[in-house]
Amino acid sequence: MKATLIHDLISHHHLDFLIVTVTWMHADLPRAIVDDITPLDYAVLHRYRPNGQGGSVAVVYCRGLKLSMLTVTSERCTFECLTVKLSIASHRLNLGAVYRHLSSVCLWPSSVPSSR
């Protein structure tokens, strides 16, 4: 059901990419289920919740775009963060999405690695 809504949103608004929080996806799901949220000619990158259920962040993007996952680490955070690098010709755009559950506590990472 959520997959159909995502497909419709991307199609109706002609989106090149869409960031989705609280996907409820986890790393041990079959690839067919994980990829179900991607329309034809789209791909998905996930940042799965490391433990427990719920959460997770994903970016659904047009396969024509060159996206790669970046890593942001912090030992003091309980939020979920997905960061990606979008490369177009000789330009780069770093994008990030954060999901923080209301009951979580977080101090923002003191260092975010550079991909330059």
* Closest by Cα among 12, 69, 10 to 40: 10
Give the pLDDT confidence of 2-56 residue by residue, as tens digits: 888 888 888 999 999 888 887 777 677 777 777 788 888 998 888 777 666 666 7
Give the pLDDT confidence of 45-104 residue by residue, as tens digits: 887 776 666 667 888 899 888 888 887 765 555 677 778 888 888 888 888 887 776 555
**Domain residue limits, the chain:** 2-99
All residues at 6 or more sequence positions from 52 whose CB lies less than 8 Å from its CB, including other chains: none
Query: Which CATH number is correct for 2-99, 1.10.472.50, 3.40.50.11540, 3.40.605.10, 3.60.10.10?
Result: 3.60.10.10
pTM of the model: 0.71
